[in-house]
Chain A
Amino acid sequence: MNTAMITFNKNTVLALAKDGKRFDGRKFNEFRGPIEIQSSISKSAEGSVKVRIGETVVIAGVKLSLEKPYPDTPDQGGLMINAELTPLSSSRYESGPPGMHAIELARVTDRGIRESHVIDTKKLCMAKNEKAWFVMVDIVSVNDAGNLFDASGLAVMSALRNTKFPALNEDGNVDYKKHTDESLPIAKDTLSITVFRVGGNLLVDPTVEEEDASDARLTISSDATGVIAAMQKGGEGTFTIDEVMKAVDLGLETANFLRGKLQ
């Protein structure tokens, strides 16, 4: 589909929203297609994936390392999620250290995975106080055509599921050239859905134009049982309690849809 012929902007989006319409004809709870998850795209990572939602593309990669556990959690490994909003992926992003948007994206994605205990970090510990696996996930944007939050959440969950532990050599150090068949101890599939309010309507999977026209958003991370593990409100607008509950309904419903895409 070629939408480049007509210029859509914030005003067009808002005018259509009044009539309950989206400019690409989707329903409010409808994701763009295609939704594609391509696994093991980078052999240098322990786990990797390329996720496409419509024209939005992100790559996520997992590296594992053996480290000393933190003093306050001596019997656990750890998890870290980082996001790079590359200038390759949009003219809106600049080179340099992560800006506020990238930090928020990484932290919101991190909280969803961490708080729902997707990974049993105790199972990552090899020797108390001495050695544990640390899981580092990097999200890299390739084309930002909107909804990086949900694309990133889907990419991180898929990349974790794609991860295999590297082998250890005789002296106990990591041999990154060899991988075992062992997967990460993954307990559940937690995904985030971000509900945007555009012209008074609540909708999911916005394009960049819809993001620009939105005045408030709510990200909801949930597992298959419908338990919410993390939330984040964004945007300058306010929500009523009623709107929050509607957004949660929409978030849980579409999370299940997206979970069906996981391999």
Chain B
Amino acid sequence: MAYTKRLDGRKVNELREMSAKVGVVPNADGSAEFRTGKTWAIAAVYGPREVLPRFMANPKKGFVRCQYTMMPFSGTGERIRPGRSRRAQEIGMVMDKALEPVVDLTAFPNSVVDIFVELPQTDAGTRCAAITAASMALADAGIPMRDMVCSVSVGTVDGTVVADLTYDEEAYDAPVSDIPVAMTARTKEITLLQMDGHVKKEELNKALELAKEVMGKVYEVQKKALKAKFMEVSQ
């Protein structure tokens, strides 16, 4: 049976209910949280600051260093042991690459911008939520950027192309593909692309077009949250 009706009743191009808030970690130079359905990411930016260890510093340009952490109780099953898993390290690395294209790295040579993301609750799409929150936190920290980065996962469930998959959809008993995508908000350039599962060329094309179509909705949530914080400050 084809996947014609989504498990949670959403339309194929419908994202889960999103919300965002900027300035949630007062200690940080910039911070934000982003929620989509049950997935919840908190991001904090520290920097630009001195690079430690020192040999990693580049006198020509700075760099972005992301750390992604699922809280030990945030998974669907048993407790996750604290400590850097290979998965978390790889996600941190792809997050760096997803965000660096919009950051003016030449503005802070010899320095690093650290981005820490913690997830208290998850239901798939965590790296996308992490990137979306991190982009807001960078803007909140006043890091020079030429665009925002928005992220959402797309994919196929039994041949149907859908946006913003849940765990239940990823685990659906049929061929499934999960394609996390991040794009620059204005120019729609792809800065993150991963995929696992089972997808045909035509489906992939359709999925990426769908990502492009829905990305604006993520951007609206980001913009609204950033404006809300600065409205508050100006009052």
Question: Cβ of A43 and Cβ of B71 under 8 Å apart?
Answer: no
**B26 nearest CB neighbor, chain A only:** A55
B185 within 8 A of A: no
For B119-130 the 0/1 string (1 means CB < 8 A from A) is 011110000000
Shortest distance between the CB of B167 and any CB in chain A (Å): 10
- CA–CA, A138 and B70, complex, Å: 12
- CA–CA, A27 and B42, complex, Å: 33
Question: Cβ of A42 and Cβ of B71 under 8 Å apart?
Answer: yes
Question: Cβ of A88 and Cβ of B78 under 8 Å apart?
Answer: no
For B1-45 the 0/1 string (1 means CB < 8 A from A) is 000000000000000000000001111100000000010101110
**B78 nearest CB neighbor, chain A only:** A65
**A136 nearest CB neighbor, chain B only:** B79
Shortest distance between the CB of A167 and any CB in chain B (Å): 13
**B120 partner residues in chain A, CB cutoff 8 A:** 41-42, 48, 50, 59, 61, 140
- CA–CA, A57 and B42, complex, Å: 12
A34 within 8 A of B: no
- CA–CA, A176 and B122, complex, Å: 14
For A94-109 the 0/1 string (1 means CB < 8 A from B) is 0101100000000000
- CA–CA, A143 and B25, complex, Å: 6
For A45-87 the 0/1 string (1 means CB < 8 A from B) is 1101010000101010111010000000000000000101011
Size bracket of the A interface: 35 or more
Question: Cβ of A82 and Cβ of B114 under 8 Å apart?
Answer: no
Question: Cβ of B79 and Cβ of A63 under 8 Å apart?
Answer: yes
B83 within 8 A of A: yes
- Which among B25, B72, B122 is the interface contact of A89 at CB below 8 angstroms? B25
A145 within 8 A of B: yes
- Which among A44, A61, A95, A140 is the interface contact of B67 at CB below 8 angstroms? A95
Size bracket of the B interface: 20 to 34
Q: A42-B73, A57-B25, A61-B71 are in contact. List 17 more A-B contacts (CB 8 A).
A: A42-B120, A44-B38, A44-B122, A61-B120, A84-B72, A87-B67, A87-B116, A88-B43, A89-B25, A95-B67, A136-B79, A138-B72, A138-B82, A142-B25, A145-B27, A176-B76, A177-B76
**A88 nearest CB neighbor, chain B only:** B116
Question: Cβ of B71 and Cβ of A145 under 8 Å apart?
Answer: no
Shortest distance between the CB of A261 and any CB in chain B (Å): 21
Question: Cβ of B77 and Cβ of A144 under 8 Å apart?
Answer: no
Contact A143 B79, CB 8 Å, known A44-B122, A63-B72, A82-B72: no
Question: Cβ of A176 and Cβ of B78 under 8 Å apart?
Answer: yes
Question: Cβ of B74 and Cβ of A61 under 8 Å apart?
Answer: yes
Contact A143 B73, CB 8 Å, known A43-B121, A87-B46: no
Question: Cβ of B121 and Cβ of A42 under 8 Å apart?
Answer: yes
Contact A91 B27, CB 8 Å, known A82-B82, A97-B83: yes
**B75 partner residues in chain A, CB cutoff 8 A:** 44
Question: Cβ of B121 and Cβ of A41 under 8 Å apart?
Answer: yes
- Which among A87, A97, A145 is the interface contact of B26 at CB below 8 angstroms? A145
**B43 nearest CB neighbor, chain A only:** A88
- CA–CA, A82 and B71, complex, Å: 12
- CA–CA, A95 and B40, complex, Å: 21
B100 within 8 A of A: no
**B158 partner residues in chain A, CB cutoff 8 A:** none
- CA–CA, A143 and B116, complex, Å: 12
Shortest distance between the CB of A199 and any CB in chain B (Å): 25
- CA–CA, A162 and B66, complex, Å: 32
Question: Cβ of B42 and Cβ of A88 under 8 Å apart?
Answer: yes
Complex A-B: 10 CB contacts under 8 Å:
A41-B120, A44-B123, A48-B120, A61-B74, A63-B73, A89-B27, A138-B72, A140-B71, A140-B120, A142-B24
A90 within 8 A of B: yes
- Interface residues in B80-106 by Cβ distance below 8 A to A read 82-84
B170 within 8 A of A: no
- CA–CA, A82 and B73, complex, Å: 11
- CA–CA, A41 and B74, complex, Å: 10
Most chain B CB atoms below 10 A, which of A59, A65, A97? A59
- Interface residues in A191-242 by Cβ distance below 8 A to B read none
- Interface residues in A112-167 by Cβ distance below 8 A to B read 136, 138, 140, 142-145
**A50 nearest CB neighbor, chain B only:** B120
For A169-195 the 0/1 string (1 means CB < 8 A from B) is 000001011000000000000000000
Shortest distance between the CB of A37 and any CB in chain B (Å): 15
- Which among B44, B76, B83, B123 is the interface contact of A88 at CB below 8 angstroms? B44
Question: Cβ of B122 and Cβ of A84 under 8 Å apart?
Answer: no
Shortest distance between the CB of B153 and any CB in chain A (Å): 18
